[in-house]
Amino acid sequence: MIENKKKPNPIDIHVGSRIRLRRTMLGMSQEKLGEALGITFQQIQKYEKGTNRVGASRLQNISSILNVPVSFFFEDAPGEGAAASGMAEASSSNYVVDFLSSSEGLQLNRAFVKISDPKVRRKLVDLVKALAAEAESE
């Protein structure tokens, strides 16, 4: 039983990874998030690794600071399985998480959200689609 206590719960690991994902998407440091919560960056590290469980009120505070609903932290959580959401849905949201976890995806996302003109955004999406189609045909 002692071994089991040392191994983080898969849900805690998942919630922590989603906190890290959203924090990095916003370009926020662990220290800055910790300061906003009144805790140390080391505690944020423990939450993000799943070593320490995030309490309900603390998760509510984190969701407010990171500007996402609490449900964001549980999307694609282990145990949801295909019954909770369609397999296509699950794989598409995993694709988004994988994209936003990459350096390029994060850089693209940060730059894209700074573009306020919807026409420019649309043209950029069209450009990326065209480049992807060209790459597929080669």
Residue range 71-123, pLDDT digits in tens: 999 988 887 554 444 444 444 456 666 776 677 887 887 788 788 888 998 99
Taking a C-beta distance cutoff of 8 angstroms, is the pair 11, 48 a contact? no
Whole-structure pTM value:
0.63
Residue range 19-69, pLDDT digits in tens: 998 898 888 999 999 999 999 999 999 999 999 999 999 999 999 999 999
The second-level CATH assignment, the architecture, of 2-101 is: Orthogonal Bundle (1.10)
Locate the domains of the chain by residue range.
2-101, 105-138
Provide φ and ψ at 27, rounded to 5°: 70, 30
